[in-house]
Each structure stands twice: as structure tokens, then as C-alpha cells.
């Protein structure tokens, strides 16, 4: 990255789970920041937090707060993005958004930097982050598509409770503690008990019986991979895991496949780590790939129900590659390529 430029960076939703991950990763990855601004709801405004030895006051996220901000990571929900992102863009601030608000807008790039970095050049002030389960899934499928030509895929997800935010983690922990004490199981967030259980519903159901999460996987895969006719069928499941999503994938390709060639493609891909040794019982797990930059891919085998098909498994951190890390990687790439400049530089100051 070109270290000669540094930026005034804002985080909208700085007190939430993804906001906290952004703060940690920005420091660890030494993103060039000249000034850091933290934004949250009115109820959090005024709180003082310590970040990297600095005491910063949280500001209310509201129109007009982006005048001096070069880059804003939006880590809140879709309503906040829709309310504030246009104001940020009008102020000349680049928005990198984790919500679904603009993902399918044809004018907004939806970017995973290992897959479609060229899309960053076509932005009009907003860059969208993919859904967490989509991001993890495509870390396994993209290198295989490049090698064999992806025709269609079926996916079953195993999504951690941190994908529901801090309340998901709290609910799982409270239920496990209540179970251990023999007390009634408390339930507030999920429609069913999540401890020692599985819930085959992530997001709300549509008229076709698919949930929003399942529809996102289809639509976002098509846009990111540049495959508008890609056939996708997904079942998304919440599991009692704290962090990192996993996905079981069955994919069919245009060209003949081999396990050896598939393993080689995964090994050579920047976004994945091959963990595939059946004899040694080695394969990716959510625990192993929590707080990891890359996603783990394994259990690669020939699919027995499809011609030119592969069955495989992938695990990846939903708060990192599925959210905060991917957003920062996009910003790093833009800074490195000269696509992101401080407002002062643009004004000739």
C-alpha cells in the first residue's frame, strides 16, 4: 500500500460487533489513518472509548457528520445506510457498506477483492460488502470456477450465532448456562432454542419459501462472479457455534473435474487455505478458522449425483471475511491503486 497518503476514517456503528472488529483490524493491519471518527446512535453519543492508546468520543451518526471524513465504513444495518450513505457521498466521502441496502443496485459495486477487484473502479461513492455466507462460499467456489467453469451449485450453511450480532451470542450463552443449571431455557431472539439445536431459518421467508439469506446467496453470487444465469439453491441454517460460518457445497462444472486439480486450484488461491487430508482426519472447522484472514476448504471429493461435480466444505470467519476484513481489504486495495485519495489532496491543499 502507498503509505504516503493517510485518511480520515469513520466507522458508523462503531459500538456494534462488526464495528469493534473493524477497529481491531484497522490497527492490526496498519491502515493509514490520520484521524479516526467513531459514529453510533444518539444513545451512545458522548461515550469515551480508548482505541490504540487514544481516547475518542463517540459521535452521533447523523446528516452532516461526514464533511471531514474521507472513508466511512458502515457497520450498522440497512436503514442506517439508506438514511446516511447518500449524505456521506454528497460530502465526498467514500462509503464501504456491510448491509444489504445497496448490494443489488446496478450502480453499486459488490466486491470481494480476490474475485472482482476491477469493480472498485466503477463506484459512484458506495461500495457494498457481500453477505457473510456468500463471501465464505465464494472463497471456495471462485478458484474452482476459474479452473472448471461453474455451472450451478447447491449449498447448505452452518451459520454461527455471531451472525445475528451480540444478542445471538448472548442468547446461546444464556441458554447453555440455564441448561447446565437445570433452569428454564430463556428465549428472546430466535424462534426456537438455539442451544443444542439447529434452526433452518436465517432471515425471513419469501413467497417462494426461500429465506432472505438464501436468496442473497443466489443473487450476490451471480453479481460478484459475473454469472447472471448461475443456478443456485441454498438452505441456510443457524447452528450453536459462536463464530465462523461453514458451508457444505455440491457444485457442477462445465469441464471435467478431478480432486487433484481442485486441490491445486484451492491451494493457489489467495483467499483460501487447503485443509484436506481424509486419512489424517484433517478438514476445516469453525474454531480453526475463527479470526483467520483466509477461509479453509476441505472434504473435496467427486460428487456422485452430478456429472463434472465436486462436493466440498468451507469454513470462514463471518465477522472477518464475511464483514469487517473484506471491507478493509477493499479499502486497502483502493488506497494501493490510487483509487482512494484524501479530500485535502483532491482539493489541492
Over the stretch 5-45, which tens digit does the pLDDT of each residue have?
A: 899 999 999 999 999 999 999 999 999 999 999 999 999 99
pLDDT exceeds cutoff 90 at 52: no
pLDDT digits (tens, 9 = 90+) for 325-347: 999 999 999 999 999 999 876 65
CA distance 276 to 296: 9
Angle at 117 between CA 113 and CA 123, to 5 degrees: 115
CA distance 263 to 195: 35
At residue 349 the predicted structure's pLDDT band, cuts being 50, 70 and 90, is very low
Cβ-based neighbours of 43, under 8 Å, separated by 6 or more: none
CA distances to 42, 132, 221 from 115, rounded to whole Å, are 37, 15, 11
Domains of the chain, first to last: 7-101+323-346 (3.40.50.720), 133-318 (3.30.360.10)
Q: Rounded mean pLDDT of the chain? A: 96
- The Cα–Cα gap between 325 and 18 comes to 10
Grid cell 459500538 is found at 15
Distance between CA atoms of 102 and 121, rounded to whole angstroms?
17
| Residue of 93, 132, 236, 295 marked active site | 132
Give percent of the chain above pLDDT 90: 95
Kindly report the length of the chain: 349
How many Cβ atoms are within 10 Å of 312's Cβ, its own excluded?
A: 26
Residue 91: the pLDDT is 96
Whether the pLDDT of residue 235 is over 70: the answer is: yes
Whether residue 278 is predicted with pLDDT greater than 60 in this model: the reply is yes
First to last CA, the chain: 22
Which has more pLDDT, 106 or 348?
A: 106
pTM metric for this prediction: 0.95
3-state helix/strand/coil string of 61-96? CCCCCCCCCCEEEECCCHHHHHHHHHHHHHCCCEEE
Q: Which is catalytic among the residues 123, 145, 236, 245?
A: 245
Q: Please enumerate, as own/partner, the contacts of 186-193 that have beta carbons within 8 Å and a separation of 24 or more.
A: 189/164, 190/164, 190/238
Name beta bridge partners: 231: 152
Closest CA to 201 of 235, 167, 172: 235
Label the pairing between strands 59-60 and 33-40. Answer: parallel
Instruction: Name which of 92, 140, 148 is nearest 267 in CA terms.
Output: 140
Q: In what order do the strands lie in the sheet with 94-97?
A: 59-60, 33-40, 7-12, 71-74, 94-97, 126-128
* 145 given a catalytic annotation: no
66 vs 64: CA distance, rounded Å: 6
Spatial separation of the C-alpha atoms in residues 144 and 152, rounded to whole Å: 12
Catalytic (active site) residue 295: no
Largest alpha-carbon pair distance within the chain? Answer: 67
Give start and end residues of each alpha helix (H) in the chain.
Answer: 17-28, 78-90, 132-148, 166-181, 212-225, 259-268, 325-336, 343-346
DSSP, residue by residue, 278-325: GGGTB---TTTTTT-SSEEEEEEEE-SSSTTEEEEEEEE-TTIIIIIH
Average pLDDT for residues 176-197, to the nearest whole number? 98
Q: pLDDT band at residue 53, thresholds of 50, 70 and 90?
A: confident
Q: Rounded distance, CA 37 to CA 14, Å?
A: 9
Amino acid at each position: 500500500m502507498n503509505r504516503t497518503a493517510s485518511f480520515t476514517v469513520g466507522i458508523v456503528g462503531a459500538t456494534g460487533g462488526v464495528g469493534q472488529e473493524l477497529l481491531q483490524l484497522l490497527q492490526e493491519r496498519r491502515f493509514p489513518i490520520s484521524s479516526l471518527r467513531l459514529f453510533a446512535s444518539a444513545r451512545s453519543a458522548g461515550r469515551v472509548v480508548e482505541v490504540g492508546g487514544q481516547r475518542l468520543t463517540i459521535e452521533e451518526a447523523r446528516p452532516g457528520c461526514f464533511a471531514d471524513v474521507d472513508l466511512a465504513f458502515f457497520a450498522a444495518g440497512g436503514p442506517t445506510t439508506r438514511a446516511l450513505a447518500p449524505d456521506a457521498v454528497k460530502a465526498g466521502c467514500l462509503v464501504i457498506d456491510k448491509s444489504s441496502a445497496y448490494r443489488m443496485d446496478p450502480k453499486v459495486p459488490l466486491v470481494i477483492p480476490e474475485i472482482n477487484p476491477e469493480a472498485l473502479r466503477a463506484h459512484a461513492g458506495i461500495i457494498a460488502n457481500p453477505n457473510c455466507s456468500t463471501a465464505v462460499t465464494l472463497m471456495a467456489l471462485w478458484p474452482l470456477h476459474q479452473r472448471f467453469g461453474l455451472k450451478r451449485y447447491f449449498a447448505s450453511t452452518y451459520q454461527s450465532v455471531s451472525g445475528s450480532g451480540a444478542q445471538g451470542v448472548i442468547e446461546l450463552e444464556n441458554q447453555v448456562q440455564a441448561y447446565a443449571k437445570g433452569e428454564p431455557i430463556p428465549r428472546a431472539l430466535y424462534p426456537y432454542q438455539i442451544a443444542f439445536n439447529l434452526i433452518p431459518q436465517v432471515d425471513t421467508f419469501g413467497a417462494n419459501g426461500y429465506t432472505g439469506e438464501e436468496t442473497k446467496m443466489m443473487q450476490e453470487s451471480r453479481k460478484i462472479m459475473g454469472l447472471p444465469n448461475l443456478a443456485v439453491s441454498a438452505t441456510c441454517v443457524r447452528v450453536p457455534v459462536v463464530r465462523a460460518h461453514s458451508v457444505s457445497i455440491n457444485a457442477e462444472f462445465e469441464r471435467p473435474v478431478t480432486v487433484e486439480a481442485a486441490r491445486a486450484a484451492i491451494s493457489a488461491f489467495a483467499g483460501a487455505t487447503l485443509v484436506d487430508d481424509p486419512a489424517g482426519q484433517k478438514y476445516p472447522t469453525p474454531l480453526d478458522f475463527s479470526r483467520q484472514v483466509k477461509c479453509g476448504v476441505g472434504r473435496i471429493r467427486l460428487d456422485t449425483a452430478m456429472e463434472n461435480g465436486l462436493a466440498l466444505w468451507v469454513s470462514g470467519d463471518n465477522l472477518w471475511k464475511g464483514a469487517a476484513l473484506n471491507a478493509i481489504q477493499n479499502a486497502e486495495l483502493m488506497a494501493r491503486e490510487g483509487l482512494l485519495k484524501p479530500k485535502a489532496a483532491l482539493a489541492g491543499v
